[in-house]
A and B are shown apart, each in its own frame.
Chain A
Amino acid sequence: MTDYTRSDSHPETLAEMALGVLDPEERTSVLTHLASCPACREELLELSAVADRIAAQAPPAEPPAGFEDRVLARIDSQILGGTSALPRNRWERADRRTYKASGSRRSVSWKHLAAVAAAAALLLGAGAAIGSAATGTSSTVASDTTGGWSASLLVGPSGPVGRVFFDSDGHPWMSMGISASQVGTLRCELVSPAGKVIVLGTFQVTSQGGYWATYIPVSARGANTVRLVDTSGKMVATATMK
């Protein structure tokens, strides 16, 4: 189709490639060439930097009102594993509650973030909620009596490894963030005071930590302990629900 099908020539479409306007067929052809041509890879990098700067010159335009809320809601739905049945406005709700509890947005968001970072409770949607959690040795670290929301530390053999958030509003659910110290597949169980065990599911913890959210089934009401168990059956962390 074009002259770069000859092995001794370089594609003349690198500029279009950089601008992102090549059709898939041509793109594939260029990519095939790039795989074996460092010179063209280098040139594409430079052209892409130019192309990106051109794109950034588009005239700014204000999006319709409420745009930021819709972006936040969209991210919320992603945090919750794309499970559309889960509440979509988690972020907002957690925020509102913490405002109620402390009255100061600034102190809520930042006061305890260092502790949170250390715990690697990477709950994006609960960022503000994390911030409201008091540090301390108690396993239940925060709660909001008006909203049925609470947070607990996940404690492993050598100390805290993450946090669990419970929300008993409406359809109860919980979410948890755990540090990268527990890489692998973890099974989450709820245990009742009488010792009844309900397996809620499994999730992956990568070298960047792990995050998981789930509804709490009716059969698990009354359970007060969360247990995380690895594939060998060893318990790696527990948390106590308030």
Chain B
Amino acid sequence: MALNPISARVRNYDVRQMGIPVSSLSDEALLAGYASGDRELAVAFIRRFQSRVYGVALAVLGDPTGAEDVAQQAFERAWRHGSTYDARRGSVGTWLAAITRNLAIDTTRVRKADPIEVDALLAALPAGPNEPETKALEAESSREITRALRLLPTDQARAIVLAGMLGMSASQVAAAESIPLGTAKTRIRTAMGRLRSSLRYEHLAEHSND
């Protein structure tokens, strides 16, 4: 089994020694506590992220029972691989979402297309995660990506929601949108390229404000 470096526990311990309540611990500190086996922190970690993890699984699988199983697997994987989390590559929430998405996609390749759901997801985008625990940095990151998504042409945004949130392959996107496979692939590729560019631009803009 994966064991985590002792330093992570000691760091955690120091944080708690200072009398900081669990609810105000950073996502990273909670993850370290969870992965190192502290039960109180584990419960806090699961509670903080369960709706996001379950939401990702539900989006891909569209079935509550399957989604719960995948969400459980995702938390298990996070526990096992907590020490490999790298804050430079994204927030804890994003890391968990990616783990969950990959597990969910591996679980099923037969996701039924539901055009109404896609519209609903697109409409819901601007909100993003807004739980009270969500840290300012993550909220900002969430705003960036939703803003970039909304700047895409609708057909590309739909392709991204279908592939990126519902976990559909290009051929499933093609079937769902009644378009040729090549068109689906092009929409996905073009949209991803644009998203990457606009996020890059946002980062440049941020730094120029410093």
Give the interface of A toward B (CB within 8 A).
Answer: 12-16, 18-23, 46-64, 67-68, 70-72, 74-75, 78-79, 81, 91, 95, 105-106, 109-110, 113-114, 116-118, 120, 122-128, 131, 206, 208-211
Contact = CB atoms under 8 A, between A and B. Distances in A.
A120 B6 contact: yes
Among A13, A21, A51, A210, the most chain B Cβ lie within 10 Å of the Cβ of A21
Contact of A95 (B39, B47, B59): B39
Contact of A59 (B46, B59, B90): B59
Closest 5 CB pairs of A and B: A124-B37, A54-B164, A56-B97, A15-B192, A60-B51
B85 to A, nearest CB: 12
A47 B164 CA distance: 11
Given A58-B165, A127-B39, 19 more contacts: A16-B185, A16-B189, A19-B167, A21-B105, A23-B109, A50-B195, A50-B196, A53-B90, A53-B199, A56-B52, A58-B121, A59-B55, A61-B54, A63-B50, A71-B72, A71-B75, A74-B76, A78-B76, A127-B42
Interface of B: 1-6, 9-10, 12-13, 16-17, 36-40, 42-43, 46-47, 50-52, 54-56, 58-60, 64, 67-68, 71-72, 75-76, 79-80, 89-91, 93-98, 100-102, 105, 109, 121, 124-125, 128-129, 131, 141-142, 144-146, 149, 160, 163-165, 167-170, 185, 188-189, 191-193, 195-196, 199
Contact of B95 (A52, A72, A116, A125): A52
B55 to A, nearest CB: 4
A56 B129 contact: yes
Contacts, number: 216
Among A18, A20, A47, A109, the most chain B Cβ lie within 10 Å of the Cβ of A20
A110 B13 contact: yes
B38 A208 contact: no
B129 A211 contact: no
Interface of B is mostly: helix
B2 to A, nearest CB: 8
A19 B3 contact: no
Among B89, B96, B141, B192, the most chain A Cβ lie within 10 Å of the Cβ of B192
B196 to A, nearest CB: 5
A55 B100 contact: yes
21 contacts: A15-B191, A19-B163, A19-B192, A21-B163, A50-B195, A55-B98, A55-B164, A55-B165, A57-B125, A57-B128, A58-B58, A60-B129, A62-B54, A75-B79, A91-B39, A110-B17, A118-B6, A127-B39, A128-B40, A209-B3, A210-B3
Interface of A is mostly: helix
B39 A53 contact: no
A168 B38 CA distance: 24
Contact of A62 (B51, B96, B98, B199): B51
Given A58-B59, A61-B55, A110-B13, A47 B102 contact: no
